[in-house]
Amino acid sequence: PYVITEPCIGVKDASCVDVCPVDCIHTTDDAPQYYINPDQCIDCAACELACPVSAIAHDASLEGDMRRYIEINANFYRSQ
């Protein structure tokens, strides 16, 4: 699945939400960023192209410290 990473924090532009065909990008008012549900993402890449701060990438392309966002995105949905 695709993953939302650090540049989203404090920005929360939400352009990604509008283009996602399966409506799997969510947040809450008090959360620092948006999150992709890894069980619902169909890897279409529409969100990656829509984000103005390039916060979104495929999990397989994430390197180093950015890999922790794989769990950060998944954990948002486990806690719901």
Stretch of 37-45, 52-60, 64-72 lying at the interface with ligand F3S (CB under 6 A): 52-60
Phi/psi at 39 (nearest 5 deg)? Answer: -85, -10
In the shown chain, the binding pattern of residues 21 to 60 toward ligand SF4, with x for contact by CB under 6 A and - for none, equals xx-xx----------x----xxxxxxx-------------
End-to-end CA distance of the chain: 19
> What Cα–Cα distance (Å) separates residue 25 from each residue in 34, 36, 53?
7, 5, 16
Distance of closest approach, residue 28 Cβ to ligand F3S, in angstroms:
13
Binding residue count for ligand SF4, defined by CB under 6 A: 15
